[in-house]
Amino acid sequence: MLRTNTCGELNLNDINKSVELCGWVQRSRDLGGMTFIDLRDRYGITQLVFNMETDSRLCEEARKLGREFVIRAKGTVAERSNKNLKIPTGEIEIIVQSLEVLNPSELPPFTIEDNTDGGDDLRMKYRYLDIRRNPVKEALLLRAKVAAETRVYLNDQKFAEVETPVLIKSTPEGARDFVVPSRMNPGEFYALPQSPQTFKQLLMVAGMDRYYQIVKCFRDEDLRADRQPEFTQIDCEMSFVGQEDVLSMFEGLIRQLFIKIKNTDIGTLPRMSYADAMKHYGNDKPDIRFEMKLKDIKTLTAGKNFKVFDDAQTVLAICAKGCAAYTRKQIDELTDWVKRPQIGANGMVYLRVNADGTFKSSVDKFYGEEDLKKWAEACDASGGDLILILAGEENKTRKGMSELRLEMGERLGLRDRTTFKALWVTDFPLLEYSEEHKRWHAMHHPFTSPKPEDMEKLSSDPGSVRANAYDMVINGVEVGGGSIRIHDKSLQQKMFSILGFSDEDALAQFGFLMNAFRYGAPPHGGIAFGFDRLCSLFGGSDSIRDYIAFPKNNSGRDVMIDSPSQISSEQLAELKLRVESAKDSV
């Protein structure tokens, strides 16, 4: 080794030891007679000291070192007179006896500091420098730790990690596949997996009993902010279980991760049905760090000639605690906020519940004190609170109110990133109707089993059938979701038929799974966690990008390596492919 120690481990116990350290020059201070250099590596920072009086040649060498030079220093550990108790190595320094420049560095395009002067684009282009910064480095180390602890838990529970193939088969269900042309089978393509769903089910048929994998998945979607074309899942499946068994197993995983990573026990996870989540939060991933539930006050507003409410399919209210003092300007600003196209409300009604018990609302001319009092009661509002009301078409209003609730939670500081509230959302609808495609879609995926008690409605009233499906939601973020699967061949066939697959299509695309079900498929179910998202949640960040070593931008481009890129005509010829020019497609 070029070093005896790292830059993060020497302390007062090491005084007088001869050591060799390697690392990068973080900063250099020249105080006339003395030169101090902060030497950085992954593990920390250690101060190097050079003294003009004792070794002027060496000291002058040290003064020539630029930022990010890679050096190796031999010296002796000494106690610092000027201690820095904020870092573990802050009580010692190294009196350097010899110095070697292992590699010089040009001045980096941005500063390697926690708060850098580099913008996003520059940092992405020089990602290898960005990772030198503490926040990014720590994010990647956190990710490694979450993966390691996940494996410890699952291995303990007898889950076997099994790798499923990356070169698989394209299926039209779900999002768009990335495809890979096969040179050995010209005109044919592999697809990259959107998830190992069918393979993990086959592993259950194969008797593997408990499977997991921390695995890359791929989706060729138009990228929204903070979506990546390749992402990582913790993918799990178990046999001979019901829904409760799966929930309890993976509640255990998440609790253990919080204990190991955040040193906090999040306790037992509450359960909430999809119907309740939509009713109380307008959202199937409710942020339950704060209350402010949606209240339907439609009946309380009826018949007073306020056309907006009377014509509305629904009238929803939330109570913002202690906000009665909001100024007209603040309320107008909120009204503009809900009128933005992203939410699209026509307006917002407010009701101030004054400290003295009186009311002030924007619809005073339609509603008397008695009406407003009922609204306030319905919202559990007390003096000093502000009630905000949206009205209109059911789905849109509920969605808009959910957004407004989250916004108010944010403004009121109720969404603290160091507080974690997890829950299970259960009893999702099995199907949702696509107006665009004029057919039913699987809300989770086509392999999810209906609830046995709803089975008879599968033909008569598909929309009302609930699934054995569940999501884990933490702080308003869906971190994982899964279901108990269909293991019966005829039910799976029926499902494909409800989803509009012809028998031929079902056979062509999922024949291998249907075939497998002929040979003794056990009851099974599982879950997949979004690993990037989970890491960003543990790290207290909204962005998954910092938790991915080499992420792509919103055009699916890696700006560091400049990919995707053109390939040679020889490569195309070998693949028997031709790229259509704009001309061809006219």
Q: Does 131 bind a copy of itself (CB under 8 A)?
A: yes
Contact yes or no for 190/184 (Cβ under 8 A): no
Torsion of CA 59, 64, 68, 72, to 10 degrees: -40
Cβ of residue 235: shortest distance to a copy of itself, in angstroms? 13
Pairing between β-strand 386-392 and β-strand 439-442 as defined by DSSP bridges: unpaired
| Residue with smaller CB distance to a copy of itself, 72 or 262 | 72
Q: Does 308 bind a copy of itself (CB under 8 A)?
A: no
Binder among 55, 91, 209, 407 for a copy of itself (CB under 8 A)? 209
Only segment of 56-64, 262-270, 491-499, 560-568 that touches a copy of itself (CB under 8 A): 560-568
Amino acid at 139: A
Binder among 84, 490, 563, 569 for a copy of itself (CB under 8 A)? 563
In the stretch 38-77, what mask flags binding to a copy of itself with x, by CB under 8 A?
Answer: --xxxx------------------------xxx-x-----
Cβ of residue 563: shortest distance to a copy of itself, in angstroms? 4
Element (H, E) at 47: strand 44-51
Binder among 45, 59, 99, 202 for a copy of itself (CB under 8 A)? 202
Q: Does 233 bind a copy of itself (CB under 8 A)?
A: no
Only segment of 213-221, 260-268, 277-285, 419-427 that touches a copy of itself (CB under 8 A): 213-221
Q: Does 556 bind a copy of itself (CB under 8 A)?
A: yes
Contact yes or no for 60/23 (Cβ under 8 A): no
CA distance 287 to 291: 9
* 513 three-class SS: helix
Binder among 98, 439, 550, 569 for a copy of itself (CB under 8 A)? 550
| Residue with smaller CB distance to a copy of itself, 130 or 385 | 130
Q: Does 4 bind a copy of itself (CB under 8 A)?
A: no
Q: Phi and psi dihedrals of 406, rounded to 5?
A: -65, -40
Smallest Cα–Cα separation from 547: which of 126, 228, 142?
142
Q: Does 185 bind a copy of itself (CB under 8 A)?
A: yes
Q: Phi and psi dihedrals of 49, rounded to 5?
A: -120, 135
Binder among 78, 95, 122, 180 for a copy of itself (CB under 8 A)? 180
Binder among 15, 141, 302, 455 for a copy of itself (CB under 8 A)? 141
| Residue with smaller CB distance to a copy of itself, 245 or 456 | 245
Pairing between β-strand 210-218 and β-strand 160-161 as defined by DSSP bridges: parallel
| Residue with smaller CB distance to a copy of itself, 222 or 370 | 222
Q: Does 571 bind a copy of itself (CB under 8 A)?
A: yes
Smallest Cα–Cα separation from 241: which of 544, 526, 560, 532?
526
Q: Does 564 bind a copy of itself (CB under 8 A)?
A: yes
CA distance 165 to 163: 7
Cβ of residue 579: shortest distance to a copy of itself, in angstroms? 5
CA atoms within 13 A on the CB side of 303: 3
| Residue with smaller CB distance to a copy of itself, 200 or 405 | 200
Binder among 85, 580, 583, 586 for a copy of itself (CB under 8 A)? 580
Smallest Cα–Cα separation from 349: which of 299, 304, 402, 308?
308
Q: Does 558 bind a copy of itself (CB under 8 A)?
A: yes
Torsion of CA 302, 304, 306, 308, to 10 degrees: 10
Contact yes or no for 15/76 (Cβ under 8 A): no
| Residue with smaller CB distance to a copy of itself, 124 or 387 | 124
Q: DSSP class of residue 467?
A: B
Q: DSSP class of residue 216?
A: E
Contact set for a copy of itself, span 95-114 (CB under 8 A): 102-106, 108
Cis peptide before 523 (omega within 30 of 0): no
Pairing between β-strand 386-392 and β-strand 349-353 as defined by DSSP bridges: antiparallel
Q: Does 555 bind a copy of itself (CB under 8 A)?
A: yes
CA atoms within 13 A on the CB side of 92: 25
CA distance 398 to 393: 8
Only segment of 50-58, 257-265, 415-423, 551-559 that touches a copy of itself (CB under 8 A): 551-559
| Residue with smaller CB distance to a copy of itself, 69 or 350 | 69
| Residue with smaller CB distance to a copy of itself, 395 or 571 | 571
Contact set for a copy of itself, span 452-491 (CB under 8 A): 487-488
Element (H, E) at 210: strand 210-218
Binding residues with a copy of itself: total (CB under 8 A):
128
| Residue with smaller CB distance to a copy of itself, 356 or 562 | 562
Q: CB atoms < 10 A from the CB of 463, how many? A: 11
Binder among 168, 458, 477, 514 for a copy of itself (CB under 8 A)? 168
| Residue with smaller CB distance to a copy of itself, 358 or 571 | 571
Q: CB atoms < 10 A from the CB of 182, how many? A: 14
Cβ of residue 117: shortest distance to a copy of itself, in angstroms? 16
| Residue with smaller CB distance to a copy of itself, 351 or 484 | 484
Phi-psi region of 485 (alpha: psi -120 to 50; beta: other; left: phi over 0): beta
